């Protein structure tokens, strides 16, 4: 995980905790809606399969991380149980060669939209200033704007027309853990870590396929408001 991102999150949470101690704070309770806006970073933890024959054996792919704005809504079902919907702008990932084709440069780009729905348990009582939470849910991994590069064509279809590809959309389980710090009865900040267990397949215009385990880790730092 990005160390600078974590340090910034810790500093903001510490500052918010100090502010919360100076005033009255009320955590999310039964029947309450909240909305959060912040930044999210997705880092795929890739275990790539090989591109199927006739590609060079060991032709794998690496996927870069990206950071984008996020928007999150939650509803308190009870004082301790809540539901949460996480949305945001598309993450833009660069794809590069790995394994036998490591160092060959950028193979393409893809955008991912990972809306996620969680059931959460929030520890302690609603008037607690610092309130950890855990969640279990599902993410719909929607891939779009897959674009291959000239380098991809030179590897998979030397001398032929440009190679395109499609990544299969999937629903995958996601777990989360985080902590919310109340600034005052209406405003709060929180930091969340998520892990999605995502496997998918890539289909190339040359007829070749590739199985990839992505298993992305997400970091979200957000400011929220209670309605």
Tokens 């160092």 belong to 103
Q: What is the pLDDT of residue 201?
A: 98
Please determine, for residue 22, whether its predicted confidence score (pLDDT) is greater than 50: no
Q: What is the pLDDT of residue 29?
A: 79
Tell me what the mean pLDDT of segment 155-170 comes to.
Answer: 96
State which H helix or E strand residue 152 sits in. Answer: helix 150-156
Assign 213 a pLDDT band (cuts: 50, 70, 90). very high
Would you list the domain boundaries of the chain?
Answer: 3-226
High-pLDDT (> 70) share of the chain, % = 88
What CATH architecture does domain 3-226 belong to?
A: Beta Barrel (2.40)
More confident residue, 206 or 9: 206
Query: From the CB of residue 171, how many other CB atoms can be counted at a distance below 10 Å?
Result: 11
28-76 pLDDT per residue, tens: 678 999 999 999 999 999 999 999 999 999 999 999 999 999 999 999 9
Tell me what the mean pLDDT of segment 17-28 comes to.
Answer: 48
| Beta strands 187-196; 217-226: pairing state | antiparallel
Assign 126 a pLDDT band (cuts: 50, 70, 90). confident
């Amino acid at each position: 995980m990005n160390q600078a991102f974590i340090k910034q999150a810790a500093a903001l949470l510490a500052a918010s905790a100090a502010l919360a101690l100076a005033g009255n704070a009320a955590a999310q309770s039964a029947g309450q809606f909240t909305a959060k806006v912040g930044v999210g970073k997705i880092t795929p933890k890739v275990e790539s399969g090989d591109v199927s024959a006739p590609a060079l054996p060991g032709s794998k792919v690496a996927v870069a991380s990206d950071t984008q704005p996020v928007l999150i809504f939650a509803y308190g079902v009870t004082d301790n149980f809540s539901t949460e919907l996480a949305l945001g702008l598309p993450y833009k990932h660069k794809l590069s060669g790995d394994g036998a084709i490591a160092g060959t440069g950028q193979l393409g780009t893809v955008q991912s939209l990972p809306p996620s729905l969680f059931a959460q348990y929030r520890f302690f009582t609603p008037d607690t200033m610092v309130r950890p939470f855990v969640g279990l849910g599902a993410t719909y991994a929607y891939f779009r704007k897959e674009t291959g590069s000239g380098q991809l064509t030179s590897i998979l279809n030397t001398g032929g027309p440009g190679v395109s590809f499609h990544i299969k959309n999937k629903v995958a389980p996601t777990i989360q853990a985080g902590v919310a710090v109340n600034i005052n009865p209406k405003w709060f900040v929180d930091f969340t870590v998520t892990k999605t267990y995502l496997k998918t397949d890539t289909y190339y215009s040359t007829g070749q396929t590739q199985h990839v385990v992505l298993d992305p880790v997400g970091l979200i730092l957000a400011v929220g408001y209670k309605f």
